[in-house]
Homo-oligomer: A and B are copies of this chain.
Amino acid sequence: MAIEDLLPIVHPTGLYQASRHLVDAGGKRLRPSMLLIAAEATGGEAAAMVPAAVSIELIHNFTLIHDDIMDNADIRRGRQSVHKIWGESGAILAGDTLYSKAFQILGMTPGQPGLILESMNILSKTCTAICEGQWLDLEFENRFSVSENEYMEMIEKKTGVLYGASACMGATLSGASDKEVKGLDEFGRLTGMGFQIHDDVLDLTAPQKVLGKRRGGDLVEGKKTLIMIHALDHGVEVGVFGKKDAARQEIEEALSVLEKSGSIDYARSRAANLVNRGKQALDALSDSPAKMLLLDLADYMIRRGY
């Protein structure tokens, strides 16, 4: 990836160091991968799409930086979060910088102006939806109950749409047909929702070291994940829910309770279902090695250990 070249550390260096902090920590980079493979799968040339792929990854990182401020999250990708090092003001600005840099870099993608403009329109619409999703997520914390439909809307906006944008921007920039673009949007959106539910499962079940952030963080923050919605609907008692200073032992106990109640398995099955529906949307594409890779990527999104 050419992130270092496209986002150099220039004057004022503090701002760019803060902006690069999480980007340099790596992460799985599934979104840019999806964009590049989607481009290949629709007859485009992946190499030319690198700026677009970088722009998607920067948008993802911008949302992480701002979300970590709102969620009071101290650790991310095994590093201190941006606001812990540069303060809230620094983190707000680092996120804002990645936001505009993403659009600047997307504008560097070679190709027909009409196609690049079209992908900018996809990206801006997507960013608005992400804000709506994060707003709902915060609002849910203060509500007594959240329905499964409401949760699904929230993760579609918070996570699904950026995967959808990744896949369909790769296709759009390759000049793919409407049918292919629509199929890839659906593929990204649904598998992205599966990814988010799997993320909620990992937040509880993965070892902290592998996770790169506090284990059970969603639980103690009082996040209404699908697991918790199932538990609340079935009268399962989770004492540690919303208890920010919970001990490690208490989180272990909650995990065991949620395994027994079937709440975690329920989330797992919903994630698998979404991924399967997403894979079916790829029927819109003719067969190719890149399409096979997308199908594998979809499976990985809910099999990964972190």
Contact = CB atoms under 8 A, between A and B. Distances in A.
Contacts of A114: 113
A120 interface: yes
A284 interface: no
Contact of A103 (B12, B97, B113, B120): B120
Interface stretch (A125-133, A243-251, A259-267, A271-279): A125-133
Interface stretch (A40-48, A134-142, A190-198, A199-207): A134-142
Copies of this chain, how many?
2
Nearest to A91: B92
Contacts of A103: 103, 120, 123-124, 127
Interface in A54-69: 66, 69
Contact of A121 (B107, B124, B138): B107
A89 interface: yes
B139 A125 contact: no
A121 to B, nearest CB: 4
A92 B93 contact: no
Given A12-B139, A103-B120, A113-B117, A131 B70 contact: no
A74 interface: no
Contact of A128 (B101, B120, B128): B101
Nearest to A138: B89
Interface bin, chain A: 35 or more
Contacts of A117: 107, 113, 116-117, 120
Contact of A127 (B14, B99, B125): B99
Contacts of A136: 12
B15 A131 contact: yes
A132 B15 contact: yes
B113 A100 contact: no
Contacts of A128: 97, 100-101, 104
Interface string A101-115: 101100100000110
A66 to B, nearest CB: 5
Contact of A12 (B92, B99, B121, B132): B132
Contacts of A92: 66, 69-70, 92
A104 B129 CA distance: 12
Interface in A7-23: 11-12, 14-15
Nearest to A108: B121
A104 B89 contact: no
Contacts of A11: 132
4 closest A-B pairs by beta carbon, nearest first, are: A100-B127, A103-B124, A70-B89, A113-B114
10 contacts: A12-B135, A66-B92, A89-B138, A92-B92, A93-B134, A95-B96, A103-B103, A104-B128, A107-B124, A116-B117
Given A12-B139, A100-B128, 11 more contacts: A12-B135, A66-B93, A70-B89, A95-B96, A97-B128, A97-B131, A100-B125, A100-B131, A104-B121, A107-B120, A107-B124
